[in-house]
Amino acid sequence: MMTFIWKQEPTVRHHFYFIPLLSLLLLCLLTACGKPDPVETIDKRSGLKVAAYGSWLSPITAEDVYGLSDDFGELQSVNGALYFVQSDSSAQGKIGIKRLETGANLIDAVSSAFDVRSTVHEYGGSPFLGIGQSIFASKAEDQLLYRFAPNQVPVPLTPAGTRHGDCISYPKGSRIICVREDHRGEGESVTSLVALNLNFSNEGETMVIGADFYSSPKISSAQNHLVWISWQHPNMPWDNTQLWIGDIEPKGGLKNARRLIPDKQGSITQPLFSPAGVLYFVADFDNWWNLYRINPEGELEQVLDKDAEFAVPDWKLGNHNYAFESDNIIIASYSDKGKASLIRIFLDTGITESIAVDFGEISQVVKGEEGIYFVGAKVTPEKGIYKVKGRGVALIYSPELATVDPNYISRAVSVSLKSTDGVTIYGYFYGARNPDFIGLSGSIPPLLVMLHGGPTAKASLAFRRDIQYWTSRGFAVLDLNYRGSSGFGREYRQSLYGKWGVADVEDAVRAAGYLVNKGWVDGTKLAMRGANAGGLTVLSALVFYDTFKAGVSYAGISDMEVLSRDAHKFESSYLELLVGKNSAENNLYRERSPLYHLDRLNEPLLLIQGGDDTVVLAKQSIEVFNQLKARGVPVAYLEFEGEGHSLRDPVNQMIAIEAELYFYGKVFGFTPAGDIPALKIDNAHRLKKH
């Protein structure tokens, strides 16, 4: 078996591989190079260059997409300063903690070399806590929680074999309360809430235990109550969770733990006490994640009834969609069919006023000493940390971002269509756009359908450089919110249950056909790309349909049976919901797994895989590659050593997207502009001539 396993040093760019001319000629023969693109001509009417779609020269490079640090979040306000995590492209995407002080003075509070990351519930989130001059942070490498204090070396506080996240300050006894995941025993890990000493390594005191999962501990302003969220298998946190409260004793213990609103079923998340001690939270009791509170009489009240989502699926800990501007005013973010908005809610009257509507994503809404702050990404290239100012917002920090000429930016057009069972499905269409080029006479753009993971994640309107990378080269792009996506209510989110591997695939096929029928894209040049669960959709579409002519799978799931057997605790029962109970016994896993139907896959496929992926093992993708190669199907495989379920190193991300571009060029018969490294495609001589 021949595969490419990329090993990159941090400072080495793949642009500098030199291949002798003879090798290039040989490669051309082996990969069935078609006729060269026509010589560049100028359209007499428009004065623009005429070139094949996909071959347009774009100023938006792979380095512009991935080369700068722009992945940040986990916002906290501590002693008048803002702390947040941010990745570092010069350190293979490792994460440090920044401190933003008044006057925009920015310092590194914890170096990215430390790599701050929690893996509680595998996907982590909320990996640090600031208290006074100290920071308590989880280290990616060993998952120990360390204390960083001025002029002291970092001190580990937790036992090996445990993971911690979602920590809060616990003033009684000078401790912190964290979600703990304990992997020291046999079998499934044990999750609990523990209180940890701030000064030395210790086992800690278990405060709450017994449920399968915990999250979101919060202490009341009077420091006499602790609330938290729990849930049990087979539920995911966006299905059914429970809200609990306990009384904090004078010496710091917890007693009288009791469940709140036990008569209500739904996903409860983000509990928060108001300054006056009233408990608020978000729940989807009526399909939509809306704000609720428990009044002084212990009765449930809905704060605002709106067909919009005031929360997101808790794949990670530490989501914050609202904060108290005062005891009587909440600032909240919500998503309405993909559009993110920020509003002010006057609790005494129920009146609301709009603050910001031009964002694609808003997260980490927190209270600071000088007001309300949040992390936002606009529909334009702007993103950063914002402060609420009256009825508007002000940008106070933005990471270094590549400049994008607005003339090359394709704007999203919202599209909707009906699924096979009459459910409305949603997506964002981006047309090919480059002010320097038009396509060849009589041609229309190829389509690239993008599929998110999860599968309960979502496509959003937040500006994405990777989308613009494609549209500025002459591709049309559809970012699809297939059934099961979040942001459209509980019913839509659960419409995939029992139908995973079927409904999502149908939606992608129908959406592509919808755009072909509109005449927006070339029906003979349809491609799709997806990661993780989205990768399963890619593989399944190529196996069970003949609509798409190429696919790219990033760590795509090919064997549901293996996934069900080897899944980590957080997702160990997820397939019971997505596919159905007793699916293994009923052979449903095999029926829906692309791996067992590869004899029906005949279109070109590129597989991209992390060598250290513990969710979808590399051997799954290698098995797909080997079978297709043996059958003579054009197929390529890229494996990145040291990468997990998602590519973190910007260098590897750049290699991958350029490999995609080269792949599509060979499949659809165009030559990409620029210095794009060659990709070895097995059975390339079987690619169709265009």
Of 1 and 236, the one with more pLDDT: 236
d(CA 216, CA 229): 6
| pLDDT > 70: percent of the chain | 93
Are 532 and 638 within one domain? yes
Mean pLDDT of 322-349: 94
Cβ atoms of residues 184 and 191 within 8 Å: no
Task: Dump strand ranges (E) for 392-436.
Answer: 392-397, 412-418, 424-430
In tens, the pLDDT along 348-383 reads: 999 999 998 889 999 999 999 889 999 999 999 999
In a domain, 344, yes or no: yes
205-214, 390-399, 428-437: least confidently modelled range: 390-399
Same domain, 511 and 450: yes
d(CA 491, CA 349): 30
pLDDT for 449: 98
**d(C-alpha 446, C-alpha 11), whole Å:** 34
pLDDT of 616: 85
Residue 5 lies in a domain: no
More confident of the two residues 390 and 357: 390
Distance (Å) of CA 515 to CA 203, 284, 417, 452, 504: 58, 33, 10, 19, 17
Nearest Cα to Cα of residue 312 among 532, 76, 129, 485: 485
At 289, the pLDDT band (50, 70, 90 cuts) reads very high
Phi and psi at residue 313, to the nearest 5°: -60, 135
- Specify the pairing of strand 526-531 against strand 447-451: parallel
Number of domains in the chain: 2
* Token representation of residue 242: 């429970």
Q: Is 468 found in the same domain as 369?
A: no
- Predicted confidence at residue 44, as pLDDT, reads 86
What's the rounded Cα separation, in Å, for the pair 294 and 54?
A: 56
CA distances from 98 to 84, 101, 166, 433, 688 (A): 5, 10, 18, 36, 51
Mean pLDDT computed over 440-450 = 96
Q: Write down the pLDDT at residue 16.
A: 28
7 found inside a domain = no
> Are 505 and 490 contained in the same domain?
yes
Which pLDDT does position 35 carry in this prediction? 43
pLDDT band at 33 (very low <50, low <70, confident <90, very high): very low
CA gap 410, 416 in Å, rounded: 19
Q: Does 601 fall in a domain? A: yes
pLDDT in tens, 642-683: 998 889 899 999 999 999 999 999 999 999 999 999 999 999
In this structure, are strands 162-170 and 145-148 parallel, antiparallel, or unpaired? Answer: unpaired
pLDDT, mean of residues 32-42: 56
Q: pLDDT tens across 189-229, in order? A: 999 999 999 888 889 999 999 999 999 999 998 899 999 99
Is residue 480 within 8 Å of residue 451, measured between CB atoms? yes
Q: What is the mean pLDDT of residues 1-29?
A: 36
- Higher pLDDT among residues 130 and 251, named by residue: 130
| Beta bridge partner(s), residue 57 | none
> Residue 374 sits in which domain range?
320-401
Do residues 641 and 580 both lie within one domain?
yes
Residue 644 covered by a domain = yes
Q: Which of 145, 147, 101 is nearest to 124 (CA)?
A: 145
Helix (H) or strand (E) run with residue 283 in it = strand 279-286
Tell me how crowded residue 103 is: count the other CB atoms within 10 A of its CB: 6
- Is the pLDDT at 494 greater than 90? The verdict is yes
Asked whether residue 659 is assigned to any structural domain, the reply reads yes
Same domain (yes/no): 516, 579: yes
Q: Are 429 and 471 within one domain?
A: yes
- pLDDT for residue 690: 62
Q: What's the rounded Cα separation, in Å, for the pair 309 and 314?
A: 13
Q: In what order do the strands lie in the sheet with 41-42?
A: 41-42, 49-50, 437-438
Q: What is the pLDDT of residue 173?
A: 63
Using DSSP's 3-state secondary structure scheme, residue 476 falls into: strand
In the numeric block, which tokens belong to residue 453?
A: 């993971």
User: What was the pLDDT predicted at 107?
Assistant: 92
Tokens 């093992």 map to which residue?
617
Cα dihedral 666→539→623→644 (10° resolution): 90
pLDDT above 90: residue 591: yes
Q: Token digits for 189?
A: 């890990």
Instruction: State the burial class of residue 342 (Cβ atoms within 10 Å of its Cβ: 0-12, 13-18, 19+).
Output: buried
Q: Are residues 450 and 461 in the same domain?
A: yes
Q: Which of 386, 401, 416 is the last residue of a domain?
A: 401
- Residue % of the chain over a pLDDT of 90: 79
Domain boundary among 401, 432, 448: 401
Among 375, 401, 427, the domain-final residue is 401
User: Are both 380 and 459 inside the same structural domain?
Assistant: no
pLDDT per position as a tens digit, 454-485: 899 999 999 999 999 999 999 999 999 999 99
d(CA 284, CA 265): 9
Q: Report pLDDT for 25.
A: 37
What integer is the mean pLDDT of 238-267? 94
As a 3-state breakdown, the chain gives helix, strand, coil percent values, each rounded to 5, of: 20, 35, 45
**What's the pLDDT score for residue 655?**
96
Measured CA to CA, the distance from residue 575 to residue 579 in angstroms comes to 5
Mean pLDDT (whole number) for 593-600: 96
The alpha carbon of 395 is separated from its chain's Cα centroid by a whole number of angstroms, namely 23
Residue 442 belongs to domain with CATH number: 3.40.50.1820
φ, ψ of residue 69 to 5 degrees: the values are -75, 110
Residue 11 lies in a domain: no
| Residue 597 DSSP label | G
596 and 456 part of one domain: yes
Given this model, what pLDDT does residue 613 score?
A: 86
Rounded to the nearest integer, the mean pLDDT of the chain is 91
148, part of any domain: no
Same domain? For 611 and 642 the reply is yes
Whether residues 437 and 340 share a domain: the answer is: no
The arithmetic mean of pLDDT across residues 143-169, rounded, is 95
- Going by C-alpha positions, the residue among 243, 367, 256 that lies closest to residue 294 is 243
Residue at token pair 């992945």: 71
pLDDT reading at 12 higher than 50? no
Dump strand ranges (E) for 171-212.
175-182, 190-197, 205-209
